[in-house]
Structure formats: structure tokens, C-alpha cells
Amino acid sequence: MTEKPFLYVVVCAAGVASDVGELIARAQERGWEVGVIATPLAMNGFFDAAAVEARTGRPIRSAWRSPGDPRPFPAPDAVVVAPATFNTVNKWAAGIADTLALGTLCEAAGLGVPVAVLPCVAGALASHPAYRDSLTRLRGMGVRFGDPYAGEARPDGGRPEFGWQRALDLLRD
């Protein structure tokens, strides 16, 4: 039996992270084995960690391993960042690796694997010049971005779809 390709799903502390199970399920349907890496803040109640671990069959990674410990996940065949916050996008573009999620992202482009990002950033933050520069820099590294998503409620109180599957489509484009 051939091994399934391994997908890292990096989850940041944005409200829509509560639905990340949707992305994991769709990825598994498409034949990916999934390991989740969450920012420390995302672990602070932004999604149901127990449900994600049950779905992936692996512990969520958020902290660095100890030097003598084995790598808990195999090397990635692809990386998805969804939802991606303003904070993580800017730190990643600046080459800051002070969380496991950021260290993983900083390394990913250099590994030559496809990296797809679904940002969830409110319009007011997205207009910050540092954010625009970050997108330009990351695109220049070959990182693939989904459409901007602000996460803001419509007048009827509903929210537009986040479009999780787009991340998986971007890996194939």
C-alpha cells in the first residue's frame, strides 16, 4: 500500500478557526494524511482541539519538541495555513520563527513544497502597509493565497462562507 501524502494544516487564532474540522475532513477525502500545527493562541479555545485530534488521529502540535525527542510528524508534502491571521502573516514574511507554527512556515518555502494560505483579516487591518508588503513578499516566495476574507458579519447577521476547500485547490494549481 502506498503511503498517503502528508499535509500540515497550520491554524491561527481567528474566529473562523472553529470550523477547521471542515478543512481537515475535505483534505482527508482528497487522500491527504493530516497533521495540525496550531499557534499557541489558537489553542486558547479557538477550535475544538479534542475533535481535531480525534479526526486526524494525531496530537495537535503547538510547542517545539525537546531536543532529544523524535519528530512527531513526517516531513510535509504540502502546507496549508487556514485561517491565517494578520499577526502570523506579518511575522512569517519578516522571518520570525518564535512559535512552532511560524518556524514551520518559515521553513516550508525552502523545502520546495506547495504552501497555500487562506487569510482571515479584517479590512481595516488588511489596509496596513506592512500587511500589503508581507503578501507581496510571500507571493514572491511562491506562496499561494486564497481571496481576501474579512470575517465580518453581513447586515442579516450571517457570515459569508470561508471557502476552506480553496486551500486544497490552490495546492493543485
Ligand X SMILES: Cc1cc2nc3c(=O)[nH]c(=O)nc-3n(C[C@H](O)[C@H](O)[C@H](O)COP(=O)(O)O)c2cc1C
Which x/- pattern over 32-51 shows residues binding ligand X (rule: CB under 6 A)? Answer: -------x-xx---------
Distance CA 120, CA 28 (A): 23
If the CB atoms of residues 98 and 156 are measured against ligand X, the closer one turns out to be 98
> Which CB sits closer to ligand X, 39 or 56?
39
Residues 6+ apart with CB under 8 A from 98: 91
Q: Is 100 in the site for ligand X (CB under 6 A)?
A: no
Question: How many angstroms separate the CA atoms of 8 and 80, rounded?
Answer: 6
What track of x and - describes contact with ligand X for positions 53 through 72 (by CB under 6 A)? --------------------
Residue 84: its H or E element: strand 78-84
Give yes or no for a contact between 41 and 63, defined as CB atoms under 8 angstroms apart.
no
Q: How far is the CB of 128 from ligand X (least distance, A)?
A: 11
Q: Please pick, from the candidates 151, 159, 163, 165, the single residue that binds ligand X as defined by CB under 6 A.
A: 151
If one counts every other C-beta atom within 10 angstroms of the C-beta of residue 31, the result is 9
Asked if 120 touches ligand X (CB under 6 A), the answer is: yes
Between the CA of residue 99 and those of 55, 57, 67, 96, 103, what are the distances in Å? 24, 23, 15, 9, 6
- Is there binding between residue 164 and ligand X (CB under 6 A)? no
Measured from the CB atom, the residue of 15 and 57 that comes closer to ligand X is 15
Total chain residues near ligand X (CB under 6 A): 14
Cα-based distances in Å from 158 to 33, 36, 147, 152, 154: 32, 28, 19, 9, 6
Q: Shortest distance, CB of residue 57 to ligand X, whole angstroms?
A: 24
Write out the residues near ligand X by the rule CB under 6 A. 12-15, 39, 41-42, 85-88, 120-121, 151
